[in-house]
A and B are shown apart, each in its own frame.
Chain A
Amino acid sequence: MNEHLSALKSAESKLEAKIARLQSVADEPTLTRIRLQLDDVKNEIAKLEKESNEPDQ
Chain B
Amino acid sequence: MSLINKLIRWYFGPSGFGTRGIRRARVSGALTIVGSPLTVQRGVEVAETGIVTRRFVCRYFAEVNDKLPGITGEATVRAISAKFSRDITCEGEVSGTTGVMAFTLGTACAFANDVSTFGDGTGKILLDEATETQDRTGWRSVSIRCSSNPGLT
Contacts and interface: CB of A to CB of B under 8 A. Distances in A.
Interface of A: 14, 18, 22, 25-27, 29-30, 33, 36-37, 40
Contacts of A18: 114
A12 to B, nearest CB: 14
A22 B47 CA distance: 10
The binding surface of chain A is classed by DSSP as helix
The binding surface of chain B is classed by DSSP as loop
Interface of B: 30-33, 37-39, 41, 45-47, 112, 114, 116-117
B30 to A, nearest CB: 5
A22 B41 CA distance: 15
A40 B47 contact: no
A37 B117 CA distance: 13
Contacts of A40: 39
Given A30-B45, A33-B41, A36-B37, 9 more contacts: A14-B117, A25-B47, A25-B112, A26-B45, A29-B31, A29-B32, A33-B33, A36-B39, A37-B39
